Amino acid sequence: MKEKHTIIVTVINSPGVLARISGLLYQRGFNIESAIAAPTEDPKIYKVILVVEESDEYIEQIVKQLNKLIDTIRVVDISHKDNYIVREYIILKLDIQQKNRTDLLELSKQFNAHVIDISIDHIIIELSGNPQKIDRFIELVRPFGIKEYVRSGEFAMAEYQKSKKGEKNGS
C-alpha cells in the first residue's frame, strides 16, 4: 500500500547534487511530492528533505539507492516514527473586504498565523505547522478567496534521539 514517506538525505554540498538525487528517483519512476534543499549549520553540508508516496518496499529501495550516491552522507526515512517533528510553511494572499476582515483576522489568530501585509483589497498571511494544520487552514480560508499561495512542502527534525557514546543528541 502506498503511503507518504519523508526522507532526509544529508549530502555534501556540491554542484549537481540535487539533480543527481532527483534524477535517480526519476529514472526509477518515482514521483517526488515535495523537495527542500538547504544548508545546515555547516555550509558544506546540505539536507535534502523529500516527500514520496510509495510502498514500504519501494521506499527501502529508494533509501538504498540514495545511499549509493557519491555525495551522500546519510539517508533516513523518518516516516512512521514518533521522534520527529514535521512542519510546513505557507504564505497566502487572500481577498479581503471590510465585511469579512474581522472574521479572517480572528481565524488567523486561532491558527496562530501572522499577518505580514494588509491592504484595502488583500491580506498576506504566513503560517507554519504540521501538514494537516496547513490543509485545514487552506480549507477554512478558501471561502474568503485565495488569490495565491506558496507552500514549502514538508521539512523535519529529530525531536529526541538517544545518543550513542560520543554522539550529540538530536542529530
Higher local confidence (pLDDT), 13 or 158:
13
**Is the pLDDT reported for residue 71 higher than 60?**
yes
Average pLDDT over residues 99-118: 95
- Three-state SS for 75? strand
Range of the domain at 90: 85-155
| Residues 126 and 149 both lie in one domain | yes
Look over the chain and give the mean of its residue pLDDT values, rounded to a whole number.
89
Q: 74: which 3 cell numbers?
A: 546519510
pLDDT at 164 over 60: no
Give the CATH number of the domain where residue 19 resides.
3.30.70.260
Residue 111: inside a domain, yes or no?
yes
Model confidence over 20-70: pLDDT tens digits?
Answer: 999 999 999 999 999 999 999 999 999 999 999 988 889 999 999 999 999
Q: What pLDDT, on a 0 to 100 scale, did the predictor assign at position 80?
A: 65
Q: Tell me the C-alpha to C-alpha distance, in Å, between residue 71 and each of 1, 41, 42, 61.
A: 31, 17, 15, 18
Same-domain status, 67 and 90: no
DSSP assignment of 117-154, as one string?
EE-SSEEEEEEEE-HHHHHHHHHHHGGG-EEEEEE---
Q: Is residue 156 within 8 Å of 86, Cβ to Cβ?
A: yes
Same domain, 60 and 111: no
**Residue 143: inside a domain:** yes
Are 106 and 151 contained in the same domain? yes
Beta-strand relationship, 72-77 and 114-118:
unpaired
16 to 19, 20, 97, 127, 149: CA distances (angstroms): 5, 6, 46, 31, 28
Which amino acid is it at 61?
Answer: Q
**Does 115 lie in the same domain as 71?**
no
Does residue 72 sit in the same domain as residue 90? no
Is 169 inside a domain boundary? no
The reply to whether 68 and 9 lie within a common domain is: yes
Cell matching residue 128: 507554519
CA 104: distance to chain centroid?
Answer: 25
Other Cβ atoms within 10 Å of 159 Cβ, number: 12
Mean pLDDT of 145-163: 83
Count of structural domains within the chain: 2
Answer yes or no: do 93 and 44 share one domain: no
Domain CATH code at residue 92? 3.30.70.1150
Q: Classify residue 146: in a domain, yes or no.
A: yes
For the segment 84-113, the average pLDDT, to the nearest whole number, is: 93
